[in-house]
Structure 1
Amino acid sequence: MYEIEYLGAPYRHDNDEIRCFRAHLINIVAGNLVKQGRIIYSPITHNHPLAELFDLPKDWEFWRKYDEAFISTSKSLLIVTLPGWLDSEGLAVEAEIAEELGIQVEPLDPLNYGVSQEQIDKLQQMLDGDK
């Protein structure tokens, strides 16, 4: 049977540009993991386009039941440590759910999966400028 890895990352933000840029960076990480042959479920890769196309809520509470269902079937929760990850409420709850279910939680440095330092710096500047 295949072992699914759930890719968690900070996403939600009131600034659409920040939220969309985060989704772009998460897609880079997800794509590079898939290229390695790993079975990845990235809720942001899946749900961000749906939320944009169908004007669905972009908050974690709306997507919680979907995320819980996928976390519960995953062997691990990979946390992409993009700027803002420590402040992400959704990511904190995802980690809590995984830990309660005995699912391994591990950080993932986006620099090791196709995201450049320039992109990290741009996101940090966007976050700093939005305060």
Structure 2
Amino acid sequence: MSNGIVLVYLAAPYTHESERVRQARFLAVTEQAARGWEQGYGVYSPLTLTHEAAVRFGLPKDWAFWAAMCRATLERHHELWVLCLPGWRESVGVQAEIAIARALGLPVRYIEPESAMRCATCPYAIECYDPIARPCGWIGCPYSEGGQAK
């Protein structure tokens, strides 16, 4: 521990073809980081820290670009928390972070979101990949241009 504070690395899926889904994932993981800070944990959320810079300055949004930095940061933490948003099992980055944490002997805690991941533009939840459920990130959202997700 660092001065009695447990340092937590908070992982969540990010990469997606839809900008709206990436934004919704950013908002959801940042909300979870805030909960951890309220509870007295030293939470480091790479998505919270890097999302805005990646968007504004055109940085890559995939694991290959961020892998070395994430590993170096994870090595300095006491625990890995995984926010289990839709797509976390398929996420190359999240699975790599889990593997790194296990290799380092860090505890891995899986966190179910307390609320649905919301679209950053409209009031609808992004809960699944089911076209029948019509989550706005995938199927003709009336809030997106031309009914197509951005």
TM-score over 0.5 for the alignment?
A: yes
Q: Is the 8 A contact 2:18 2:137 kept in 1?
A: no
Uncovered stretches (5+) of structure 2, i.e. residues with no partner:
128-134, 140-148
Shift of 1:117: 3.6
| Counterpart residue type for residue 41 of structure 1 | Y
| Greater helix share, structure number | 1
Quote the Cα distance in structure 2 between the aligned partners of 1:94 and 1:81.
Answer: 13
Which of structures 1 and 2 has the larger relative contact order (alpha carbons within 8 angstroms, sep 6+)? 1
Compared CA separation, residues 126 and 91, structure 1 to 2 (3 A)? farther
Quote the Cα distance in structure 2 between the aligned partners of 1:15 and 1:52.
Answer: 13
Uncovered stretches (5+) of structure 1, i.e. residues with no partner:
none
Could you tell me which residue of structure 1 aligns to residue 79 of structure 2?
Answer: 76
Could you tell me which residue of structure 2 aligns to residue 97 of structure 1?
Answer: 100
Quote the Cα distance in structure 1 between the aligned partners of 2:17 and 2:117.
Answer: 23
| Counterpart residue type for residue 118 of structure 2 | Q
Could you tell me which residue of structure 1 aligns to residue 143 of structure 2?
Answer: none
Match of 1:57 among 55, 60, 72: 60
Give the percent of matched residue pairs that are identical in Structure 1 and Structure 2: 33
Report the 3-state secondary structure (helix = DSSP H, G, I; strand = E; otherwise coil) of the residue aligned with 1:37.
Answer: coil
Report the 3-state secondary structure (helix = DSSP H, G, I; strand = E; otherwise coil) of the residue aligned with 1:106.
Answer: strand
TM-score normalised according to structure 1 size:
0.88
The aligned length equals 126
Compared CA separation, residues 118 and 47, structure 1 to 2 (3 A)? closer
TM-score normalised according to structure 2 size:
0.77
- Taking only aligned residues, the RMSD between alpha carbons, in angstroms, comes to 1.8
Quote the Cα distance in structure 2 between the aligned partners of 1:77 and 1:8.
Answer: 7
| Counterpart residue type for residue 23 of structure 2 | C
